[in-house]
Amino acid sequence: MSAVEEAREEQAAPGLIGARVRRREDGRMVTGAARYVADVELPRCCEAAFVRSAVAHARIAAVDVEAARAAPGVLAVLTAADLAAVRPLADMLEVESIKTPRPPLAADRVRYVGEPVAVVIAEDRYAAEDAAELVAVDYDELEPVLDVEAAIAGAPLLHDHVPDNVYFRTQFRSGGTDEAFAAADLVVSRALHVNRQLASSMETRGVVAQADPDGLLTVWLSSQAPFQQRYLLALALGLPESRIRVVVPDVGGAFGPKDFVFPEDLCVAHAALTLGRPVRWIEDRQENLMAGSHAKEQKLHVELAFAADGRLLAMRGRFVGDTGAFAYSGPAGLVDVMFSAQSLPGPYVVPAYDYDVLGVLTSKTPVAPYRGVGITAAQTARELLLDEAAERLGIDRVELRRRNLLGDEPATSITGQEYDGGSYATSLERALERIDWAGFPARQAAARAEGRHLGIGVSPFVEGTSLGTLAQLQSGFPMPSHDHAWATVDLTGTVAVGVPTCSHGQGHATAFAQVAAEVLGVGVDDVRVVERDTEASPWGMGTYASRSAVFGGGAVLKAARLLRERILAVASLLLEAPPEALVLEGGFAGIAGVPEARIPLAGIAGAAHFDPGVRAALGESGLRVSVFHDSPPAYSNGCIAVEVEVDAELGTVRLLRTVAVEDCGTMLNPTIVEGQVRGGLVQGIGAALLEHAVYDDAGQPLTTTYMDYLVPRSTDVSAIEVDHLVSPSPRTLGGMKGMAEGSSIAAPAAVLNAVADALSPYGFRVERLPLGPHAVWEGLRAAGTA
């Protein structure tokens, strides 16, 4: 029996794990009672507004804050000199890159428009902004660095210790690549400049800090990783971790960038410590689009080599990341290009592969991971090239993919990623079936007869998930990465589980409750999930990189099973029956088949607390268990298919049908999984057609409002049909795989290939991203037909 089939056999009988339980979070959210960081009310709280660089690259000659300090309602105006005791933000990873620590406020130099230069603390935000306008900064402008090639080729250095503005360089040679290319019957290549994107969660960043008289600094952060952030704050502020508490209230979306500590957080924390009043900063949308983290931009060049029968012989890739002005955090700067390079093979068999990766600094806002990171760019390039190769080889483009797809068994990619098996071929076939791929040629022909242009595209994907120690190593970012969980039963018989994750829309309070409830035989509503408070929840890395189902779910599973053993041990003593004869059901521990012989969990807990005999038998930690969990990576897979109509005159693209097939192994809550698939998919459509953070030649950002940075609306997308396959991971506890980035990874390629298909009579090629109407029109002109 194959490893994957064995895993399927072991899958738990259907219970609460895998059930479509309605979310418990919804009640407070639909009534306006959810509390996000901007809703945290503290007496005497004052507000910060930042003075930000108006130029892209300059020496700071002087900062005059006198007028601002005297303005009404102002409590303080801080510059870099006032924050000399705060250490710059530094990297936690052992990555071979040149570090560029990020100061809380720019001291002698600014390197991107929007970089914080000073901060005003005032009674309210209105007064703070008034005063911020009075701060006068004298800039000696320097030439900005706005293009990675120019940056490498002798543009001004952004950091004096980073030669050529290249802070990271690596390469990979599998062996045999040159020979494979030389022997190939067809080589296709594509250069793409991936559009700079913005995660743009509906809630911007925000921080509230309060120093209490005992010396505890409490920091409310809209965040993805409270423990990582507590540590970084401690390092920067020079405080022991034990004096810092990070509380994450409800978070209005994150998608990656809220995984870090930012200069603004340091300034606010410092102000709270020194002013003796709580301080808050709520990022406004302009700040968010301009100076919140950017993402994704890279220039890549990919080549694929084929035999005449369509076999993929080899790949080559060069990936150059446009990181922005600071690479203070390895993952932040390198996730795009490193993950592109590593994931180019995707769900296909690739015998040979060479890649080169560069991380380059530019006079732009620094980047951070954003859903899908660089896997999206690799997926896009590869799938565009597969369609091109199919056309040039005269092979059907689905058939070409079939010939190269991996089998279902676990396999290791040419870049060392250990896939744990999946449903690569099945998910492709399912997507084709759902979108009626077979019937499309007739639909397309009928439309063409009416002068309308329909197109269809397909994009099978693999999604690396569950970043733990091993996955971090395999992806080139060594970082011991693990989590903890705890579980206990209280005296009233309810269960509490502490989880190491940091939900920001993913429904952990429900999904993890389902896991614990199933194992412990209680209702979902009898499980409280404790998360996002460094005082109360267990140490963990947080929620990012699609890791929570495996790490959070796995840790809860582990803890719940351990707690179950303890409960049964107590019940065994009390009921005088061996544990194997006992069941947990409906909030009771009882002897199977003997309805009268049962004890409620409250009774179990009571005995564990107060019965000396039971206490002695249970040992030191009683009915509270604590577990450590580190998991190998798990690889989800799936396939997106999209049908579009293109208005060839105006260049607009309308999505007619969208299908997503998702295989993330054991699902905790299919409704939550589907929601993630849909949300990611729409972000992918934005990446393909709408979203672009643009700078002009002077380094001024042009897309600093929602008028210009275009996030998809409901009318920009079609309804999305989601279908599931289940290939439990043979490697993770519970068989879960992470998910939620796959659809954002694969959707752009599906849409772009569909547009190219619609315009294939004109020889249209996707060269520009995003593919807005103007880009489509230019593409048609380039092909000679607009």
Binding to another protein in span 709-728, by CB under 8 A: 710-717, 719-720
Q: Using the rule CB under 8 A, give the single segment among 259-267, 284-292, 327-335, 615-623 that binds another protein.
A: 284-292
The size of the interface with another protein (CB under 8 A), counted in residues, is 80
Q: Which of 251, 290, 608, 746 binds another protein (CB under 8 A)?
A: 251
Between residues 204 and 342, which has the closer beta carbon with respect to another protein?
Answer: 204
Out of 177, 200, 376, 753, point to the residue binding another protein (CB under 8 A): 200
Residue among 460 and 680 whose Cβ is closer to another protein: 680
Pick the piece of the chain touching another protein (CB under 8 A) from 267-275, 551-559, 561-569, 708-716. Answer: 708-716
Helix (H/G/I), strand (E/B), else coil: 33: coil
Retrieve residue 176's tokens: 């045999």
Give 599's contacts (C-beta < 8 A, 6+ positions apart).
Answer: 571, 574, 575, 588, 589, 590
Choices 81-89, 170-178, 247-255, 636-644; region in contact with another protein by CB under 8 A = 247-255
Q: Note whether 125 binds another protein by CB under 8 A.
A: yes
Residues 6 or more apart whose Cβ sits within 8 Å of residue 540: 227, 482, 483, 484, 485, 499, 500, 501, 551, 552, 555
Closest distance of CB 395 from another protein, Å: 33
399 CB burial (10 A radius; 0-12, 13-18, 19+): exposed
Please list every residue from 216 through 235 that binds another protein, using CB under 8 A.
Answer: none
Check binding of 96 to another protein (CB under 8 A).
Answer: no
Beta-carbon neighbour count of residue 22 at 10 Å? 12
Q: Can you read off the two tokens belonging to residue 486?
A: 């705890």
Residue 22 binds another protein, judged by CB under 8 A: yes
Residue 70 near another protein by CB under 8 A? no
User: How far is the CA of 124 from the CAs of 29, 37, 68, 72, 279, in angstroms?
Assistant: 26, 16, 14, 10, 10
- C-alpha 469: how far from its chain's center? 17
* 786 contributes a contact to another protein by CB under 8 A: yes
Give whichever of 252 and 333 is closer to another protein, judged by the CB atom.
252
Q: Which residue has the tokens 């102000």?
A: 271
Q: Which of 363, 506, 727, 729 binds another protein (CB under 8 A)?
A: 506
- Rounded to whole angstroms, how far apart are CA atoms 695 and 691? 13
Query: d(Cα 497, Cα 516) in Å, to the nearest integer?
Result: 8
Instruction: Work out whether 73 is an interface residue with another protein (CB under 8 A).
Output: no
Nearest to 247 by CA among 552, 531, 551, 542: 531
Rounded distance, CA 587 to CA 571, Å?
A: 13
Other residues' Cβ atoms within 10 Å of the Cβ of residue 320: 22
- Give the residue, chosen from 191, 442, 445, 650, that forms a contact with another protein under the rule CB under 8 A: 650
**Nearest CB to another protein, comparing residues 502 and 591:** 502
How large is the angle between the packed helices 375-393 and 397-404, nearest 10 degrees?
Answer: 120
Contact between 364 and another protein per CB under 8 A: no
Site for another protein in 38-57 (CB under 8 A): 38-39, 41
Closer residue to another protein in complex, CB, 26/535: 26
Using the rule CB under 8 A, which residue among 53, 97, 201, 423 binds another protein? 201
Determine the Cα–Cα distance for residues 205 and 287; give it in Å rounded to an integer.
9
- Asked if 652 interacts with another protein (CB under 8 A), we say yes
253 binds another protein (CB under 8 A): yes
CB of 658 to another protein, least distance (A): 9
The one among 8, 25, 67, 152 contacting another protein by CB under 8 A: 25
Given 9, 13, 31, 449, the residue binding another protein (CB under 8 A): 31
CB of 507 to another protein, least distance (A): 7
User: How does DSSP assign 234-269, residue by residue?
Assistant: HHHHT--GGGEEEE--B----SSGGGS--HHHHHHH
Q: Which is nearer to another protein, 201 or 501 (CB)?
A: 201
Rounded distance between C-alpha atoms, residue 318 and residue 600, angstroms: 62
Tell me how far apart the alpha carbons of residues 555 and 459 are, in angstroms, rounded to a whole number: 33
Separation of alpha carbons 718 and 643, rounded Å: 10
Contact window for another protein (CB under 8 A) among 100-108, 122-130, 233-241, 353-361: 122-130
Q: Does 702 bind another protein (CB under 8 A)?
A: yes
What residues numbered 423-482 form the site for another protein, per CB under 8 A?
none
Integer distance in angstroms from the first to the last C-alpha of the chain? 57
CB of 37 to another protein, least distance (A): 11
- Is residue 309 a contact residue for another protein (CB under 8 A)? no
| 777 in contact with another protein (CB under 8 A) | yes
Tokens of 497: 């589980």
C-beta of 294 vs 318, nearer to another protein: 294
Residue among 628 and 777 whose Cβ is closer to another protein:
777
Q: Around 26, how many Cα atoms within 13 Å sit in the side-chain half-sphere?
A: 6
Strands 298-306 and 116-122: unpaired
Q: CB 199 → another protein: shortest distance, Å?
A: 8
- Which tokens in the block code for residue 550? 């495996």
Residue 539 or 777 with smaller CB distance to another protein: 777
Q: How far apart are CA 189 and CA 767, in angstroms?
A: 11
Helix, strand, coil percentages (3-state) for the chain, rounded to 5, are 35, 25, 40
Binds another protein by CB under 8 A, chosen from 52, 504, 508, 624: 504
Smallest gap from Cβ 480 to another protein, in A, equals 29
Which residues within the stretch 666-685 sit at the binding site for another protein (CB under 8 A)? 671-672, 674-683
Q: Given the complex with another protein, which of 125 and 401 has the nearer CB atom?
A: 125
Size (the chain), residues:
786
Closest CB to another protein among residues 86, 720: 720
Q: Which position among 3, 12, 34, 67 is part of the footprint of another protein (CB under 8 A)?
A: 34
Classify burial at 164, counting beta carbons within 10 Å of its beta carbon; exposed 0-12, middle 13-18, buried 19 or more: middle
Our finding on whether 182 is near another protein (CB under 8 A) is no
Sheet holding 279-282, edge to edge: 74-78, 116-122, 46-52, 279-282, 206-211, 217-221, 244-247
Residue 331 binds to another protein (criterion: CB under 8 A): no
Residue range at the interface with another protein (CB under 8 A); choices 110-118, 150-158, 315-323, 773-781:
773-781
Q: Determine, following the binding rule CB under 8 A, whether residue 525 of this chain makes contact with another protein.
A: no
Of 6, 35, 108, 592, the residue at the interface with another protein (CB under 8 A) is 35
Q: Is 778 in the site for another protein (CB under 8 A)?
A: yes
Considering only 139-147, 410-418, 689-697, 731-739, which stretch makes contact with another protein by CB under 8 A? 689-697
